[in-house]
Amino acid sequence: MAAELEFERPIHELEKKIAELKSFMDEKDIDLTDEIKRLEEKLSNLENSTYSEMKPWDRVQIARHAERPTTLDYINYLFTDFIELHGDRLFGDDEAIVGGVAFYKELPITIIGHQRGKDTKENLRRNFGMPHPEGYRKALRLMKQAEKFNRPIICFIDTKGAYPGKAAEERGQSEAIARNLVEMAGLTVPVICVVIGEGGSGGALALGVGNYVHMLENSTYSVISPEGAAAILWKDASMAKKAAESMRITAPDLKELGIIDEIIEEVKGGAHKDAKHQAELIDQVLEDSLHSLLSMSQEELINQRYEKYKKIGQFGFVNDSIVVK
């Protein structure tokens, strides 16, 4: 069973109680069917109310869930003939980002995404999904390759952020991210970005300049982690829960702020409950997005991206107090 999340505890307790009753019924040969049925109904109601009223902090917990499906999980479900490609041709291969070519249905496609590990060993290898410059440069190399061969690009975003380390600075972390932003702006092929877990600041955005940007319902996208925001705002990282609420980092928040295109529905309780079904839910949106972009010319794709980002922001003018969105 998946690791327990705090807000799900009442559900798990009830599940446990039902399981106990069932085994008690089997052992002692007593009929508790009515009682169990009653509790199962209660459970179903509890699940519905819990998962329909999720707070930002609950979503943060789901977005960070150790068993949340990763880029490679979705690649496995959504694409065929995937061939992973490595290296930036300059320094090394950063396993915090994976990329390669595959078919999406009949369509040749390039896929790039942040990649977390599923256990400690893999996390060490993948640096917890926090890329160095060579990761971003590998991503850009694969994007340019996709452009050359006229393949659409799909980016999965799932990172706490670009790695804050000495080597990363020496090799130009800033430049690597900045370069991707500029080059993605000019890609002549369709680019679709899907935030599948955590969208951590510039390190996420470096794979995030697309014609469409979608977010899974329980993913987050933010300029700074809730812990980081809390540390700065209240000098107390334990206020992260409060920061998660005020920073507006959930998919519904970003939709409202006009930053993302669609919220992709998640399976009840979060994507980790059923990765395969989750992939199907992504598939529907992906297909629609690709369909609408494939009919656009190269120039239209670039201009659409321009207009999309150009309109993000809220400001006003001194002499009229109107703040426009």
Footprint on this chain of other proteins (rule: CB under 8 A)? 162-166, 168-175, 177-179, 181-186, 201-202, 205-206, 208-209, 221-224, 229, 232-233, 246-249, 253-254, 257-259, 305-306, 309-320, 322-325
Comparison of 11 and 213: residue with beta carbon closer to other proteins: 213
Residue 237 sits at the vertex; the CA angle it makes with 233 and 239, to the nearest 5 degrees, is 75
The radius of gyration of the chain's CA atoms, rounded to the nearest angstrom, is: 22
Shortest Cβ 155–other proteins spacing (Å): 13
Comparison of 95 and 253: residue with beta carbon closer to other proteins: 253
Comparison of 117 and 208: residue with beta carbon closer to other proteins: 208
Comparison of 92 and 172: residue with beta carbon closer to other proteins: 172
Shortest Cβ 130–other proteins spacing (Å): 9
Which are the contacts of 111, defined by CB distance < 8 A and separation ≥ 6?
A: 71, 75, 79, 82, 99, 100, 101, 102, 153, 154, 155, 156
Shortest Cβ 160–other proteins spacing (Å): 11
Comparison of 162 and 286: residue with beta carbon closer to other proteins: 162
Which are the contacts of 156, defined by CB distance < 8 A and separation ≥ 6?
A: 71, 74, 111, 112, 113, 114, 193, 194, 196, 207
Which are the contacts of 35, defined by CB distance < 8 A and separation ≥ 6?
A: 21
Shortest Cβ 296–other proteins spacing (Å): 16
Shortest Cβ 18–other proteins spacing (Å): 41
Separation CA 99–CA 146 (nearest Å): 11
C-alpha count within 13 angstroms, C-beta hemisphere, residue 216: 36
Separation CA 183–CA 190 (nearest Å): 13
Q: How many CB atoms lie within 10 A of CB 238?
A: 10
Shortest Cβ 256–other proteins spacing (Å): 10
Comparison of 60 and 184: residue with beta carbon closer to other proteins: 184
Shortest Cβ 199–other proteins spacing (Å): 8
Cα dihedral sign, 126-127-131-137: negative
Residue 299 sits at the vertex; the CA angle it makes with 294 and 303, to the nearest 5 degrees, is 95
Comparison of 27 and 317: residue with beta carbon closer to other proteins: 317
